[in-house]
Amino acid sequence: MPELPEVETVRRGLAPHVEGKRIVQVRRSRKTLRRPWPRGLKAALEGARIFSLTRRAKFLLWRLSSGQTLISHLGMSGRFTVLPPEGAAAQALGEFYFQPAARRKKGPHDHLILDLQDGTRIIYTDPRRFGLFDLIATERAQEHPMLAHLGPEPLGNAFSATGLARRIAGRIAPIKTVLLDQTVVAGLGNIYVCEALFRARISPLCPAGALAPDGMARPALERLVAAIRDVLTEAIAAGGATLRDHQRVSGESGTFQQHFSVYGREGEPCERCGHPIQRMVQSGRSTFFCPVCQCEEAKARPSR
């Protein structure tokens, strides 16, 4: 499933082509996605101008002039494609990846098509149909059930070692599992948690509360927060990681997978110590780590 860097990459690719533009036609497939299409989707979108396209955790928020916000999630295999107007195929998007909208035939997995006032076409494609769309009044967008309980953005000012310490104090669950809890910090997924823990030299088995005894951040937690910020920033700069389905709106793959230190590298030598990277399963997710470099706090226990 796309994580924060992949979703942010998609947002940055889409925003210049949709913000400030009016939607003139909406077409959707009859097939449902993860949940049914919202009622009144066509009426809410057609004629509306897209004021802004932002991101919250792994969700995209399309703020519309109709007073509503369209919330979208890519699911496992969802992706957006931008088709330029006739005669504009060689613009910044690159003619290699695009045909003018008029020449592109609808594909079997295209589920939502937005035609904009300047002839640009936005296509949402999702072979597995695990993505979703929903509508909510803009003034209540942050109250939506999918957004209301999210933790702070890891690249925002609200994310800090002090704040994270308060959220994990007393928790005996492994730090790897706790960081995947979207109420603790928003947008993190399996790949980037594995990579951040490696950079911070913290065992994925370490009880979360051991990093914040009495709600106070230990040095290891300071390292972890810095590592999370760094790995996400680098991943966004690389266009995210493409392991299976993720593509930028240009059709290109992300390249951060070329820089993984531990994820997907079971049996390969650790870049720091040379010991083979190991894999284990935590809460149904594969965890990749170096048992030598990531031994700090592995046996610690949170204070009570």
Tell me which of 3, 6, 8, 296 is the catalytic residue: 3
Q: Which residues, in sequence order, are bridge partners of residue 133?
A: 72
Annotation marks residue 3 as catalytic = yes
Cα–Cα distance for residue pair 120/107, rounded to 1 Å: 17
- CB atoms near residue 164 (< 10 Å): 26
Annotation marks residue 285 as catalytic = yes
Secondary structure class of 201 (helix, strand, coil): coil
Secondary structure class of 207 (helix, strand, coil): strand
Tell me which of 11, 55, 56, 58 is the catalytic residue: 58
User: Which of 48, 52, 34, 60 lies closest to 114, judged by CA?
Assistant: 48
Q: The dihedral of CA 115, 116, 119, 124: what is its sign?
A: negative
Tell me which of 2, 152, 154, 204 is the catalytic residue: 2
CB-neighbour burial class of residue 61 (10 A; exposed 0-12, middle 13-18, buried 19+): buried
Annotation marks residue 58 as catalytic = yes
Annotation marks residue 63 as catalytic = no
Cα–Cα distance for residue pair 62/50, rounded to 1 Å: 7
Amino acid at 179: L
User: Which of 50, 68, 53 lies closest to 15, judged by CA?
Assistant: 53
Q: The dihedral of CA 265, 267, 271, 273: what is its sign?
A: positive
Tell me which of 127, 266, 285, 291 is the catalytic residue: 285
The CA distances from residue 70 to 41, 44, 163, 187, 195, in Å, are: 9, 9, 30, 19, 32
- Residues taking part in catalysis: 2-3, 58, 285
